[in-house]
Structure 1
């Protein structure tokens, strides 16, 4: 068996103490079969009840450190030790550990660090990732009760720390977590397999497959996404391959084009349109052109005031958020804000930035950043309808 370091994720609810610290209930781990990518292969690893709920595992959860992000792998293998605890510790687990609903372990954490508390109050970093060590027993079997097959078992699980990480996107993409300090491995969250193998009931009593693609194809896409995220996170964006101009355009528009094609195919299958097939294709081409034109217009408007902003691979929403943050650094937009709200704030920021160009005539190679004093100056300019010196 091989002993590895793993990081599993969950979410929390935060409460404030009388002293101003933050306390939260945390699910540390749960039983089940989970997908991992190791040595280029996907394998199913089981957290069996007899392993997860054994006394040594429960005891390992007590009074462990809470961190703001995991330590880097080059610092004690990504774990908290006496050599680095002062650098990373922002809080601690409580002494009480409970088995909840017969399938998971929960405890209480207390956060003392002001910066991390600010992030939690702002709704950020409410996703947690638990760092732990375990032996990998590569003995296959069937999970008790569900008969779900697995390829290996995690044994002698020992929790090391809990890390607060940025909020994920609620299952809309695969969440990937580094799973080993020696061999590179990834844990693929269960939302991925839910999309691949689960069926959901619909109102007329029929069943609708969540994703018609073959499971192997979906797993391949998840693994590919995992590798992309890994190299971006640990090697940095600067080391990524820069696409040529045509590839950039393709990467920026491909997601919108694919969505339009999918919509068109669904309409054909459901018979929800009486438009002849040639006209449908023409309508699709028009939609693609409109999407491309809108995308180019958005990028041009942003580049005019934030020329250094990189838009490759960003959605329209992400471009608007990054541009707004650059122009109005003091303006905070909630992560769950609607697309309409994001667009409205972006349009306002863009308009203010354009006014800033008119007033100060900055070099067009530099960005426009607006502080409160500048905003007051712009308000006076609009009210008085005369140039402000």
Structure 2
């Protein structure tokens, strides 16, 4: 994992050419133990060994990197607005220090309060603690790759700054701007996180954060809408299932009632047509008992009352008719039994007469 670091050192005696460009070969960085602040506020002491600081691969990464007015994060194509110069050469060892040739194109930004250097670079951290030249350290920096060099107001070690005296400060054609620099306007924007903490961030970071928040809000809204639609669909399905069961029960009851009505009508001698309504069949049954009724404008309950009465009357008539049929059948059976009985008596007398006649003939 690469870690971004910013170190500060002094620029040596600077020279200004006729175009207002400032040239120098200042100290860019050095070896030693540097302290960095962790996100939680604690301090991490990192060792920059000579074999890492002066490794040729690392020194070559300085050539061509931009010089920026203040740190702009990791400098790249999107940070050209902060570039005020460039490093012209690879780094070189100068004792414990690392130096390089630089040029500053916007020299009017240099003054006594704004002439120190801060080196921005990436490195790997080896989690190994110890003591180096009497200084304790927590980790070791490895594979240092330089990204940019920044002009800042206050350096880290006090050895990397532009070496300008009072006379040098008057070299710029815009002397008034050098001696009375305009306050630097911050382009940072405050952003409040969900936990209530406020941070300063670049406008594009704030815009992206706001976009992510809006997208998240849209996703939550869509999720809530989908859940509501799902719950409504489930409720509708449950209601439909309940209605289907009720409809099925009612349909069965209606079918049974229709069958009973048709059977009753047929028993009453009423012709039932397929397209006859229940009301029409009931009125036809009533007409078998009472022909003087007119049900126009009457309610179905009114018709039902007369129908129930007609069914009772028809049932009584049917029972009476059945009783009469039973009596007739019984009478017939009794008459037949009597006839058979008489016939049997005649036959017995004839038999006796025949038997006597036989005896008489025999005695002759």
Which one has a larger percent helix, Structure 1 or Structure 2? Answer: 2
Task: Specify the structure having the higher radius of gyration (Cα).
Answer: 2
The normalised TM-score by structure 2 is 0.41
TM-score for the superposition, normalised by structure 1? 0.39
